[in-house]
Amino acid sequence: MSASEFVTGEVDLEKFHKKLEKRIDGLVELGLIRPIDYEYSDKKDGKLNGLPFTLKDSICSKNDPTYAGSKILEGYKPPFDATVTKKIKDSGGTIFAKTHQDEFAFGTASTNCAFTTPKNPWDKERCCGGSSGGAAGLSAALDLPHINLGESTGGSISEPASFTGVVGLTPTYGLVSRYGLISFANSLDKIGPISRKVEDAALGLDIISGKDFKDQTTVKKETNYRKSISEDLSGMKIGLPTSYFDIAQDEVSEVVMNAVDDMRSLGAETEEIELEMTEAALPAYYIIAPAEASTNLAKYCGMRYGMEGEPDGNFRNYFSKIRGKGFGEEVKRRIMLGTFTRMAGYRDKYYLKALKVRKKIINDFKRAFKKVDVLAAPTAPMVAPKIEEVEEMAPVEQYKLDKLTAPINLAGMPQLSVPCGFHKKMPVGLHILGDHFQEEDILRAGHNYEKRRGKIDYPEA
Amino acid sequence: MKNNELERIASAACIDLTENEKKGLEEDMENILDWFSQLDKIDTKDVEPAFHPIDIKNEMREDVVEECLDNEDVFLNTENYEDGFFKGPSIGD
């Protein structure tokens, strides 16, 4: 049963939640979740009929431990709900766990989590991707109806969805409120659903999207995404960015190209597209995101909440001591980088230069979307690597796992990763990219492809 | 990076680093900055920086009083408070 069938079906909630509870220990063992005390919602008037949800560890829910994967926030219980959390609760959803992630979402494999490393249900030696690794792994492991909320800054929904063979939807920047999200980079963060089916992701987006005065960047958009997916693909124009297929491993590109053939057989037309700025996106992203993060993370200083000590002595010594102790290696690296690239004397060379490159990337995509409705490409250059391999990679090598997701995230445009086959017995993701606020198009393309592809046999977990 | 640059950045960012961390970070940052330099060859003359991916209009909410956190909730996550104030370190030297 899918989440979408669950919300409209006759479900014995008591029996269902007993079944869910039996699965919790297994999910914890895989390093995917931190369960929270919960009572299932029996709000029959809600739209969600008690459907189980999880939240990435960086999304606040009132009185539930919310650590963003960091020791510096261990023990933190927000006294408020994020807007997305409130929307789920108001619609009759049941939040039963927080999902593990890279510390402050700084990572591409969830190997930077301060508490545990999520294991990929397809092969426990491999990573789930990052940073929403726990959420994506959960959708692969849990064969009961559910929706997870993840968050993407540079690919943190699509890439783990690809590595674990599930569906990940990153909405247009501003479509979903960020109020109550423990922020990474304000101009890049986007909350979005992760699930097993495209229709469930659309249902999730229907619940969480909309204008919110607590987040000034949100926009009003009245669309029923779930309804919009059913139209067929005849006449849809799909662009194939040649540079993306060149960057991905040949075997991965081949699997994705087969999926493109399937979409062609459903009536879509395809054409090759040149995106000139593909190579420049990753370094630009790794300048902009840490620059924003280094200011965002200034608030973790041993006061008001999170890790603290005896606040004696000079503030600079006290803050530096707590931050030195509370932050992990990658967080320190990114704060240092972000502080450096904004410093007087370097700001023009790095930070402003990257923002100009970002403008060129946005223009690059805008030009493409004048010719085609959506773009289709591999989500990630490879399948999920082994956890051990990731831990041995130099930082820049780890960053490169984001190579195909960073450009569209810098542009703030929507993207959907749909599982489309296997390489080395590990899932491969088809990435469908759309213009700003064209979620209907990418969901429609994904849903039609998914119907054509058929069922996936998920591993028993 | 120039001499003592790393210390200067760590001081600006308020992070204590161990000697081992300093060594590792210096090497990592050199490599990462070197990797960033590929952007130098991209022509960005007359290109406006994109601080945001979409154009955002500032829209104010109605100026009405809304509920906010009560005192108990405000101090829920700290032991360092007294008489309705957070306690912090000295801001003088």
Question: What are the pLDDT digits (tens) for A61-112?
Answer: 999 999 999 999 999 999 999 999 999 999 999 999 999 999 999 999 999 9
Cβ contact, residue pair A340, B79, below 8 Å: no
Q: Domain of B24?
A: 5-41
- Among the partner residues A279, A313, A436, nearest to B89 by beta-carbon distance: A313
ipTM: 0.95
Question: What are the pLDDT digits (tens) for B16-68?
Answer: 999 999 999 999 999 999 999 999 999 999 999 999 999 888 788 889 998 88
Cβ contact, residue pair B53, A362, below 8 Å: yes
Residue A4 known to be catalytic: no
Cβ contact, residue pair B86, A79, below 8 Å: no
* Portion 38-57 of B in contact with A at CB < 8 A: 38-40, 42, 44, 47-54, 56
pLDDT at A9: 84
pLDDT band at A44 (very low <50, low <70, confident <90, very high): low
- Among the partner residues A76, A320, A394, nearest to B14 by beta-carbon distance: A320
Residue B30 inside a domain? The answer is yes
Asked if A177 contacts A213 with a C-beta cutoff of 8 angstroms, the reply is: no
Tell me, yes or no, if B90 comes closer than 8 A to chain A by beta carbon: yes
Choose among A203, A231, A148: nearest CA to A445. A231
Asked if A113 contacts A102 with a C-beta cutoff of 8 angstroms, the reply is: yes
Residue B64 inside a domain? The answer is no
pLDDT above 80 for A295 = yes
A-chain CB neighbours of B15 within 8 Å are 320, 323-324, 327, 332, 335-336
pLDDT above 90 for A207 = yes
Residue B28 inside a domain? The answer is yes
Asked if A364 contacts A277 with a C-beta cutoff of 8 angstroms, the reply is: yes
pLDDT at B59: 80
The CATH number of whichever domain residue B21 belongs to comes to: 1.10.20
pLDDT at A323: 98
pLDDT at A186: 96
Neighbours of A186 (CB within 10 A): 18
- Among the partner residues A79, A188, A335, nearest to B13 by beta-carbon distance: A335
Residue B67 inside a domain? The answer is no
Residues 6+ apart with CB under 8 A from A168: A132, A136, A150, A152, A157, A158, A160, A161, A162, A192, A193, A194, A201, A416, A417, A429
Tell me, yes or no, if A170 comes closer than 8 A to chain B by beta carbon: no
Residue B13 inside a domain? The answer is yes
Residue B10 inside a domain? The answer is yes
Cβ contact, residue pair B76, A410, below 8 Å: no
Task: Describe the crossing of helices A198-208 and A439-453 by its angle, rounded to 10 degrees.
Answer: 150
d(CA A421, CA A252): 9
pLDDT band at B93 (very low <50, low <70, confident <90, very high): low
Q: Average pLDDT for residues A349-372, to the nearest whole number?
A: 98
Residue B32 inside a domain? The answer is yes
Residue B72 inside a domain? The answer is no
Report the mean per-residue pLDDT for chain A. 96
d(CA A134, CA A253): 26
List the single residue in A with minimal CA-CA distance to B86: A304
User: What three-state secondary structure class fits A378?
Assistant: strand
User: What three-state secondary structure class fits A194?
Assistant: strand
Structure tokens at A257: 């190209």
CA dihedral A249, A458, A56, A37 (to 10 degrees): -160
pLDDT band at A221 (very low <50, low <70, confident <90, very high): confident
> Is the bond preceding A253 in cis, omega lying within 30 degrees of 0?
no
d(CA A284, CA A289): 9
> Which one from A4, A41, A56, A403 is the annotated catalytic residue?
A56
pLDDT at B42: 98
pLDDT at A332: 98
Helix H or strand E encompassing A203: helix A198-208
pLDDT band at A222 (very low <50, low <70, confident <90, very high): confident
Q: Average pLDDT for residues A212-230, to the nearest whole number?
A: 91
pLDDT band at A223 (very low <50, low <70, confident <90, very high): confident
Q: How many domains does chain B have?
A: 1
Residue A209 known to be catalytic: no
> Which one from A58, A61, A91, A131 is the annotated catalytic residue?
A131
d(CA A335, CA A340): 8
Q: What is the three-state SS of A210-261?
A: CCCCCCCCCCCCCCCHHHHCCCCCCCCEEEEEHHHHHHCCHHHHHHHHHHHH
Residue A86 known to be catalytic: no
Q: Which domains can be identified in chain A, with CATH numbers?
A: 3-238+370-453 (3.90.1300.10), 281-355 (no CATH)
